[in-house]
Amino acid sequence: MTPSKSRRLIYNYDAWGPFIRPETIDDLQENVDILQGTQVTTVMLSPNFGQSMCYPSEVSELCHWREHSPEEKAVFHHEMGPRFARASEWVARQWRKHGMDAFGVLVQDVVKAGLEVFATIRMNDVHCLTLEERRGPYTDKFYREHPEYRLQQSGGLNYAFPEVRAHRLACLEEMVRRYPFAGLELDFMRGVPFFPGDTPPDNPYYGQHPITYPRDYSEGSIPIMTEFIGEIRRMLDRVCKELGRKIELAVRVSSSLSGCRRVGLDPVDWHRRGYLDFLTIGRFLQIHYELPVGAFKRALPGLPVLTSIDYVLTSEGEHGVYVGSRDATAEIYRGVAAALYAQGSDGLSLFNMYVCRGNNCDPAGKEWHHMEPVEILRQVGDQQTLAGTSKLYAVDAVSPMFNHPFVDPLALLPGEVSPRYPLVLKLMVGESNAGSRQCRLRVTTDQPAGDVAMTVQLNGHGLGGGSAASTTQLFDEPYDQTVPNPARSRDFEVDGSELIYGENEVVVLAAAPLKITNVELAVTG
């Protein structure tokens, strides 16, 4: 079943993805072939690595602008990861040695396949910018020649400068004129900050702000960014008229309206002024089952609000330390898709799904790279095709590695429970006929707690004392690098008729203080 055009299913290749596996330019077609016959409506391709481009730009510059010494190359491969580093090197080599625009070939492959193609632009990507005294492979001439335009906080570009905005605008116009994009997405999750803080730093050279004042707070710069979004919209309208085709404008922002304003973004006003065609919200580099779809739809009436699904679910591993990734399985993707639809999401953007193709070896030398679970592309585009499938739902947890509390709300887990203070949690579920399904809830603690009495309530219904978990995960997860000890988990059988479509309340009670790291629900049958 193909979802309606109003409900997009986006596959976002985000820069390096399509270039990890190819050996020849013809191999790029494989990236499109896996999407054929699926519910994917839209492919997003990112044209920029850091501040440089992955196409031969005349406004910016193609990545790897000069040859690097073996020592520089080794540092770059270590910082970026060898497979992702080789991907951008391959792109540069195709143009400089063979005259082939790999990015342009990929755009044409998507169009020929009958899919909608967008350019998704990282508005301030800082990958590898610190290498070689900020003259590394992902810098462009504009960045290298103008250190005065850089932010002290991150090294990214400072949008307060008209010259920065003019440079970016020229890059965007070059893209839509050169390639047959159906639209542009401005990705503001890549990444904060965009402006210096409203309070000047104590030490301008190092960008150190008063300890009592957040360095990235830049609400005073909102009018600057709003005017820039208007400039982009007017440029697109002008180019659309000249070329005789429609080019949409979308944005991807963090999961808090107030968080957006804190860093100089006002999507509410952008919509009020008629600049946007749709908006996507999400969390940085981690899957979250709860996103404020309702709040955004109320604030931006009439605008399609999509949600972003990333590629890893938080898993803290054996000793509460993030040591690798828990790559999303088919059950995880289906669960989060169903949960987001239950909250009113107007479509989904699968972000970084491809990243598992570039996974590195672990310290023991075990290989972890693999293809993503592409079978879900035939299911997650519509609630009807998700019905009856096996799913994993989870209470949102956050890894310190990917936590951006300045722009995103704090996740509920990890959390503390004690005899006097139950832990009250929200679990988002998208099952419309859960009474006919088999459901099991798992509660995981940071340390084995088999001798501590524990019980769980689900929507006010007691689930008893549960039983010791006999498996590491509720579903098989062959690519979870942070597998927890089963002794840390207890399982509780759930009557599916007690589940609510949408928000469910889970309350954990314990006879001794415990730290709860994960609460997950498996739905099968």
Dihedral (CA of 168, 172, 173, 175) sign:
positive
C-beta separation of 157 from 51 below 8 A: yes
Residue-wise burial string across 358-379, b where 16 or more C-beta atoms lie within 10 A, e elsewhere: bbeeeeeeeebeeebbeebbeb
C-beta separation of 340 from 293 below 8 A: yes
How much is the pLDDT for 349?
Answer: 98
How much is the pLDDT for 315?
Answer: 66
CATH says 9-195+212-402 is which class? Answer: alpha beta
Q: How many CA atoms lie within 13 A of 401 on its CB side?
A: 13
Q: Where in the chain is CATH 3.20.20.80?
A: 9-195+212-402
Query: Is 205 exposed, middle or buried (CB count within 10 Å of its CB: 0-12, 13-18, 19+)?
Result: exposed
| E strand intervals along 347-397 | 348-351, 391-394
Give long-range contacts, CB 8 A cutoff, 24+ apart: 226-230: 226/266, 226/269, 226/270, 226/273, 228/159, 228/165, 228/168, 228/169, 229/186, 229/270, 229/275, 230/273, 230/275
The SS3 assignment for 25 reads helix
C-beta separation of 50 from 127 below 8 A: yes
Residue 334 identity: R
The SS3 assignment for 220 reads helix
Q: Where in the chain is CATH 2.60.120.260?
A: 415-524
pLDDT along the chain (525 residues), means of 10: 64 92 95 97 96 97 95 95 95 96 98 98 95 95 97 93 98 98 97 91 70 87 98 98 97 97 98 98 94 98 97 66 76 98 98 92 88 96 96 90 84 94 98 95 93 96 96 93 88 97 98 96 96
- Retrieve residue 508's tokens: 């954990």
Task: Show Cβ contacts of residue 230 under 8 Å, excluding neighbours closer than 6 positions.
Answer: 273, 275
Query: Is 515 exposed, middle or buried (CB count within 10 Å of its CB: 0-12, 13-18, 19+)?
Result: middle
Residue identified by tokens 């990929």 is: 106
Query: Is 50 exposed, middle or buried (CB count within 10 Å of its CB: 0-12, 13-18, 19+)?
Result: buried
How much is the pLDDT for 5?
Answer: 47
Beta-sheet strand order (sheet of 423-429):
423-429, 502-510, 454-458, 461-462
How much is the pLDDT for 3?
Answer: 39
C-beta separation of 14 from 356 below 8 A: no
Angle between the N-to-C axes of helices 102-112 and 82-98, in degrees from 0 to 180, rounded to the nearest 10? 100
How much is the pLDDT for 322?
Answer: 42
Pairing type for strands 278-282 and 461-462 reads unpaired
Q: Looking at the domain 415-524, which fold is it? A: Jelly Rolls (2.60.120)
C-beta separation of 473 from 486 below 8 A: no
Query: Is 211 exposed, middle or buried (CB count within 10 Å of its CB: 0-12, 13-18, 19+)?
Result: exposed
Angle between the N-to-C axes of helices 222-243 and 162-178, in degrees from 0 to 180, rounded to the nearest 10? 30
Query: Is 397 exposed, middle or buried (CB count within 10 Å of its CB: 0-12, 13-18, 19+)?
Result: buried
How much is the pLDDT for 321?
Answer: 43
